[in-house]
Amino acid sequence: MELQEVKRSETGLDKDSYFIKDESVMTSALDVFTNLSSNKRIVLLAKGNLIPNAVAVANIVTENMLKGNSKIQDIKLDSVISEEDGQMISNIEIILIKNQ
């Protein structure tokens, strides 16, 4: 398996990127659903404590909202050491695609 670096910045995101924020998982899932309906591909990005929210959003969209019409294409994990305090921060990138 090849290691690939995950985008770490909220600035300069592609039009198909969605950065998971500290808000309701259902609110994020609706935003992702709306974006996925028009783009056919979306990249969920999250870091630290928001990684479980990104996984939940991906599951809600693929298993409930677009059941059978979407799938998780790829998942990338990464960690970086914070320059501020030296702690390791994990990142995740989940690529969802819509079938058809």
Is residue 29 domain-resident?
A: yes
CB atoms within 10 A of CB 60: 18
Identity (one letter) of the amino acid at 58? A
The residue with greater pLDDT, 69 or 2, is 69
Is residue 84 domain-resident?
A: yes
Is residue 10 domain-resident?
A: no
What pLDDT shows up at residue 10? 47
pTM: 0.81
Query: Predicted confidence band at 11 (pLDDT cuts at 50, 70, 90)?
Result: very low
Range of the domain at 59: 17-98
pLDDT in tens, 28-84: 999 999 998 888 899 999 999 999 999 999 999 999 988 889 999 999 999 998 888
Is residue 11 domain-resident?
A: no
Query: Predicted confidence band at 12 (pLDDT cuts at 50, 70, 90)?
Result: very low
Is residue 7 domain-resident?
A: no
- CATH number of the domain that residue 83 is part of: 3.30.110.20
Please count the residues of the chain. 100
How many angstroms separate the CA atoms of 15 and 42, rounded?
Answer: 8
Is residue 9 domain-resident?
A: no
1-36 as b/e, with b when 16 or more CB fall inside 10 Å? eeeeebbeeeeeeeeebbbbeeeebeebbebbbebb
Is residue 42 domain-resident?
A: yes
Give the up-direction half-sphere exposure of residue 50: CA atoms within 13 A in the CB hemisphere: 18
Is residue 4 domain-resident?
A: no
Tell me how many domains the chain contains: 1
How many angstroms separate the CA atoms of 17 and 55, rounded?
Answer: 15
